[in-house]
Structure 1
């Protein structure tokens, strides 16, 4: 039975294909004929250990995380900046691979240029830098009308690659992915998209020459071509053609991804783009376990997947939830009175309010870099850790949406924390937010991640007095 955890299939499909291709990026097809990739290898082109992924996966994770958090183009742009500047979502703490167009676009974003205008609009700006990271977007827009899907795809591609050719490539790729999710056969999808994509693009009165550039996909049978007719450069058209060709000329994840990588040149991206669709088509379970276990930051990847799984299986919200009804709260001792409920890599805590109504408490983990989104509830406070004293200034809670369905149901989405600290070991900030039906009542628990150990913070009633909604 096909694995329906689509984000798991996508993320591991992409990151494994990417990691397999990293050591031989830029190697020729002739070299790989003599030295083919058939499993995970280390070092090579970028001198990194086996399993390390590149910018392809880092930016894919940024998009997946943004979708989990409710999706905002500006928010996604800030994550891209954080990746380049603060090494966010990097496998080992630094950026070792970045395309020219992507670098220029992110530098523009950092200078304050809007994400709609940051990407390259010239014909020479049609590398595969948006195609390589776009696949999670299918989870966000799959149920929307085709015109809206195209527009959203255009917006997300244009952050780094705004030329129509790149947008069309991303659009075709996501339409293929959408039909995989619908359970269709890959050859049926390929034939259906010839008409569907062509007719839609013509309805937009797009320059026919731009559509013709994709003729081998839209007006032919690319799977009938011999390997020497398939290019694997960093050009978006070449990458898309190569990935579809590899998918249609193999019948499992392993063969599809290895075939893509052994085409040479832009091996990590061809592997990632092929791997994403192959992961969706064949499922996470078909990826060799060793190729997965060597990946860095598996726990972080699984957390993304777990958050999406909760979203799709529970209430279409971001955070899982439960409710408790009690009558009183001892504010003098509330740091001792919470009840933990394990949710694998995170916990949800519940505290009663003073009026005995149902309350909802979340515990979330946030990156240390700032997010440029609307501030609705700022808090400035300090706390003391038993390990060492840390002064946390400018702690800001960003709330995108709080939806009150009735007295007993609250959907809370899109939260981030902007934390500035002088402690170089201060990696993440955790807090539990305490919600009533009318507003945020208080923050009731805080903790830090220090040397990979979660340290609870002792709080007393004076903590409440420091909060200034």
Structure 2
């Protein structure tokens, strides 16, 4: 399917902004993960404004945590699909959920950049571990989720490539839910991913943030999940700057613990904050708690809103997968742009095929 009407440069900027916004928010927040608002205020009175690494897991500056690593797994699956459709001219239906599960299992088993073969991840959520272990045994991505009641944010943090690279609403919702359910099949998680990706798709099409949020609420209600709709609505009234300045208080009593609906609310509040991407993400991580994942989820929306140019250059220069994410995104968009005409000139040039 051809890319929708918005200009190719604008779509590329927003797609790169979304992917690298996830990475930047993740890497910025990794330093502060599990710290309280009070501790962060003491250590960084004006917030942490640079990607410096460290934190509980002693990350190198700009290194991907599980948030960005698993976003990479989803992105690689969509790259595989684009290649199959164009390079192989195959009529076989590509199972993107299975491809995501396969790449995610590679990550879990240590077949991943930056790690020795077989070395386990430094950090992994409980539902993600259960889902990938189940997949390792069953090899069925539709029967391996951790089950109802496991409603962490571990699928929301990785879901954004679906919003970027699937161009029909029904198909986007279907893929968002199936990819979430590999590990997080609780209804709150699968519907949050579907609503989030419709917001992303609306932002890519140039719709204002408020309109995109309305679309997310519509999707949640269509999926008959009022709690997800309420979580999005709640983001309209939440002030990221005030909470960052005064503390979570009653609005976020458990310091953004990793509950999917709380992370969704924070991301919506971030998206609707009119300040710069940098200022908003710094404040998101100042709140404390699950700072890397809230930074990743919020950063994806802000990057889709503002484009890659809004991400500070000093952040971009540190990111482990910056060059790869840029190449993969450009490849997918190039391969989609003229599927009946063969490979684009820019794709051939990048891969030495011209």
Q: Same fold (TM over 0.5)?
A: yes
Structure 1 CA distance, aligned partners of 2:279 and 2:235?
A: 23
Structure 2 CA distance, aligned partners of 1:199 and 1:345?
A: 43
1:315-357 deviations in whole A, cap 9, x for unaligned? 279x7268xxxxxxxxxxxxxxxxxx994542117xxxxxxxx
Deviation at 1:295, TM superposition (A): 1.6
Higher mean C-alpha deviation, range 224-233 or range 130-139 = 224-233
1:293 aligned to which of 317, 325, 345: 317
1:31-430 aligned within 5 A: 31-34=39-42, 35=44, 36-70=47-81, 72=95, 73-88=97-112, 90-91=113-114, 93=116, 95-123=121-149, 125-145=150-170, 148-194=171-217, 196-202=218-224, 210-212=225-227, 214-218=229-233, 221-223=236-238, 227=243, 228=248, 229-230=251-252, 231-315=255-339, 320=343, 343-348=348-353
Structure 2 CA distance, aligned partners of 1:52 and 1:109?
A: 26
Give the secondary structure class of the aligned counterpart of 2:26. Answer: helix
> Is the CA contact (8 Å cut-off) linking 1:66 and 1:75 kept in structure 2?
yes
- For the structure 1 residues 316 and 158, does the alpha-carbon distance in structure 2 shift closer, same or farther, using more than 3 Å as the test? farther
> Is the CA contact (8 Å cut-off) linking 1:91 and 1:297 kept in structure 2?
no
Deviation at 1:190, TM superposition (A): 2.5
1:274-308 deviations in whole A, cap 9, x for unaligned? 00011110110111111111122433223212312
- For the structure 1 residues 109 and 199, does the alpha-carbon distance in structure 2 shift closer, same or farther, using more than 3 Å as the test? closer
Deviation at 1:162, TM superposition (A): 0.4
The CA RMSD over aligned residues, in Å, is 2.6
Give the secondary structure class of the aligned counterpart of 2:352. Answer: strand
Greater relative contact order structure (CA < 8 Å, 6+ sep) = 2
Aligned residues: 318
TM-score for both structures, normalised by structure 1: 0.63
> Is the CA contact (8 Å cut-off) linking 2:163 and 2:200 kept in structure 1?
yes
> Is the CA contact (8 Å cut-off) linking 1:260 and 1:267 kept in structure 2?
yes
Which residue in the other structure is 1:376 paired with? Answer: none
2:16 aligned to which of 8, 14, 19: 8
By percentage of residues, which structure has more strand? 1
Structure 2 CA distance, aligned partners of 1:30 and 1:219?
A: 24
Structure 1 CA distance, aligned partners of 2:287 and 2:234?
A: 23
- For the structure 1 residues 52 and 187, does the alpha-carbon distance in structure 2 shift closer, same or farther, using more than 3 Å as the test? same
Structure 1 CA distance, aligned partners of 2:235 and 2:21?
A: 27
By percentage of residues, which structure has more helix? 2
Deviation at 1:141, TM superposition (A): 3.0
> Is the CA contact (8 Å cut-off) linking 2:236 and 2:272 kept in structure 1?
no
Structure 1 CA distance, aligned partners of 2:259 and 2:61?
A: 26
TM-score for both structures, normalised by structure 2: 0.82
Is 1:19 matched with 2:27?
yes
Give the secondary structure class of the aligned counterpart of 1:42. Answer: coil
Higher mean C-alpha deviation, range 242-251 or range 264-273 = 242-251
Structure 1 CA distance, aligned partners of 2:136 and 2:234?
A: 41
Deviation at 1:121, TM superposition (A): 1.5
In our comparison, the structure showing a higher alpha carbon Rg is: 1
> Is the CA contact (8 Å cut-off) linking 2:235 and 2:266 kept in structure 1?
no
Deviation at 1:136, TM superposition (A): 0.7
Give the secondary structure class of the aligned counterpart of 1:44. Answer: coil
